Amino acid sequence: MKNATIKKIIEISRSNKKIVFLSVDQSTGFDNELRKVLNDRFIIEPISEANVIGMASGLASEGYIPFVFNHATFNSRRCYEQILLDSSLQNFPIKLISMGAGFATSHLGPTHTSVDDVALMRQIPNMNILVPSNAEEVSELIPQVIKSKNSFYIRLTKFGIPKYGKIPSKKNNANSKVGKASIVHKNHKYQSNDILIISNGTLTPIAIQVSENLSQKVKISVLNMTTVKPLDGNALIKNVKKSKKILICEEHSLIGGLGSACIEYLVDQGKNYLAKPIHRVGVPDKFILKHGDQEGILDYLKMNVLDIEKRIKKIIL
């Protein structure tokens, strides 16, 4: 996903001379291409996250479109006040490319894992939050990000193509729109679902695989909620209405992420949508003091295909 994101930015930067790419001393894997195409608009800054966000805001104030490339954890809580005050408050839009989010760099332990970033970004007015699940989707979204006058937090939860689960079909990815959620998998031909899975990022391919595996037993639709903010309330309500039960899955803390956003939206409608059982898969409120790769941590937290299948059977049967 990181590669697809940067390739798309380079492609658009050939004609869009307002794009500036700031790397906070992180290797993009495309440094030479960035230098060649963006020239002095590709800037590798010293390790100074807070300064770089202020700097990006200053560039935005002069009409540039700054992308800031960094690890998710350093691109969110490390420079939170700068994102809030220097960029958002003053309407100086910046685009944050936050790689290695969730447990993508779990081998480095808790300093590098980022499961609170969506919660932090949701608090920031004018901030759009994208949690894409695959490279094709991100390629669809980047041109929209560049065109938009808003700030964006683009949360990339893994490198390359998903290793687990199943990528949404090309047809579904082609419809990726900022602010729009869509059903990326449905394992039955009926109107209503036994269970609606709402997911994004790493968990969408996992949810699709779960849906396929249970196609003979449980009627499932997977609603891919790539944009956490602004939340596609219409799609949420429309699909919740059609479903008996709901399961929200995210590679993020259970506090403040996609699940919280959906539940808050449903409550705020004042129509008793929460009368339906809503279950959640996510990271509990504790430090995950483990190492190993992303897959191992997802297994440990029962966020893999098999465990989610078990969870659904328990909920439904």
Partner 1 sequence: MQNLKKINNSFKIGLDDRSKYLRRLVLRGLRNSKRGHLGSSFSMIEILRVLYDNIMHYNIKNPLSKNRDRLVVSPGWASLPLYAILADKGFIKKSELDYFMDLNSKLGGCIERGVKGVEATTGSCGHGLPIAVGIAKALKLSKSNQKVFVILGDGEHGEGTIWEAAISIAKNKLDNLIILVDNNKIQCSGSIKEISSIENFSAKWNSFGLNAIEINGHDISELKKTLKNIPIKKNYASVIICHTVMCKGIKKYENSPDYHWKGGFSDQELFSLEKSLEDYK
Residue from the set 11, 31, 33, 45 that interacts with partner 1 by CB under 8 A: 45
Integer Cα distance of 142 and 254 in angstroms: 27
CB of 57 to partner 1, least distance (A): 6
**Whose Cβ is closer to partner 1: residue 124's or residue 156's?**
124
With beta carbons less than 8 A apart as the criterion, state whether 153 and 127 touch. yes
**Whose Cβ is closer to partner 1: residue 88's or residue 157's?**
88
Q: Does 57 sit near partner 1 (CB under 8 A)?
A: yes
Residues from 3 through 22 that contact partner 1 (CB under 8 A): 20
Q: Does 316 sit near partner 1 (CB under 8 A)?
A: no
CB of 19 to partner 1, least distance (A): 11
CB of 100 to partner 1, least distance (A): 22
Q: Does 63 sit near partner 1 (CB under 8 A)?
A: yes
Q: Does 48 sit near partner 1 (CB under 8 A)?
A: yes
Q: Does 56 sit near partner 1 (CB under 8 A)?
A: yes
Q: Does 181 sit near partner 1 (CB under 8 A)?
A: no
CB of 22 to partner 1, least distance (A): 9
Q: Does 223 sit near partner 1 (CB under 8 A)?
A: no
Residue from the set 1, 10, 59, 154 that interacts with partner 1 by CB under 8 A: 59
Q: What are 125's strand-pairing partners?
A: none
Residues from 78 through 107 that contact partner 1 (CB under 8 A): 81-82, 85-86, 89-90
**Whose Cβ is closer to partner 1: residue 62's or residue 285's?**
62
**Whose Cβ is closer to partner 1: residue 67's or residue 273's?**
67
Residue from the set 46, 171, 189, 317 that interacts with partner 1 by CB under 8 A: 46
**Whose Cβ is closer to partner 1: residue 59's or residue 131's?**
59
Q: Quickly list DSSP for the chain.
A: -HHHHHHHHHHHHTT-TTEEEEESS---S-HHHHHHHHGGGEEE--S-HHHHHHHHHHHHHTT-EEEEEEETTTTTGGGHHIIIIIIITTT---EEEEESTBTTTGGG-TTT-BSSHHHHHHTSTTEEEE---SHHHHHHHHHHHHH-SSEEEEE--SSSS-SSS-PPPHHHHTT--TT--EEEEESSSSSSEEEEEEE-TTHHHHHHHHHHHTTTT--EEEEE--EEES--HHHHHHHHHTEEEEEEEEEEETTTSHHHHHHHHHHHTTS-GGGS-EEEEEE-SS-----S-HHHHHHHTT-SHHHHHHHHHHHH-
**Whose Cβ is closer to partner 1: residue 61's or residue 148's?**
61
Residues that bind partner 1 (CB under 8 A): 20, 40-41, 43, 45-46, 48, 50-64, 66, 81-82, 85-86, 89-90
